[in-house]
Structure 1
Amino acid sequence: MAVVKVIELLAESEQSWEDAARQAVAEATKTVRGVSSVYVDNFQATVENDKVKNFRINAKVSFVIEKS
């Protein structure tokens, strides 16, 4: 039986929410192996001068715990 751990990350992008999700996964995989999925829990955007400036997400990244 596999054991899966979930970590929560906040990510931001100037391009899109999808890019923010990619950045969250890229950051997680710098220190975590076996990432299997990302669940985007919340979407936000910052507005400046009547235009969307940044896209923000709360991402839950799942990975399988390796057995020793």
Structure 2
Amino acid sequence: MAVVKVIELLGESTESWEDATRQIVAEATRTLHGVTSVYIKEFQATVENDKVKNFRVNAKVSFVLERD
């Protein structure tokens, strides 16, 4: 039986929400093994000079816990 842990991470990109999500997954998989999914909980954007400056996502990342 597998046990799955869920952590919450925030990501930001100047390109898009998709890029912010990719950055979260890339960073998470640098130290976590067995990442199985990412659930985007919330989308945000910052605005500067009447234009979107940064795209932000609040994501839940799921991964399988390894056993000895």
TM-score by length of 1: 0.97
Structure 2 segments unaligned to the other structure (5+ residues) = none
Q: Does 1:3 align with 2:7?
A: no
Question: Which amino acid in the other structure matches residue 12 of structure 1?
Answer: E
- CA distance in structure 1 between the aligned counterparts of 2:27 and 2:8, rounded to whole angstroms: 12
Q: Quote the offset at 1:5 in angstroms.
A: 0.3
Question: Which amino acid in the other structure matches residue 20 of structure 1?
Answer: A
Q: Which residue number in structure 1 is paired with residue 46 of structure 2?
A: 46
Query: Aligned pair count?
Result: 68
- CA distance in structure 1 between the aligned counterparts of 2:15 and 2:36, rounded to whole angstroms: 24
Deviating 4+ runs (over 2 angstroms): none
Matching of residues 4-19 of structure 1 within 5 Å: 4-19=4-19
- CA distance in structure 2 between the aligned counterparts of 1:18 and 1:8, rounded to whole angstroms: 17
Q: CA RMSD in A?
A: 0.5
TM-score by length of 2: 0.97
Q: Does 1:26 align with 2:17?
A: no
Q: Quote the offset at 1:41 in angstroms.
A: 0.2
Listed one character per residue, the Cα deviations across residues 9-68 of structure 1 (whole Å, up to 9, x for unaligned) are: 000000100110000000101110010000000000000000000000101000000111
Structure 1 segments unaligned to the other structure (5+ residues) = none
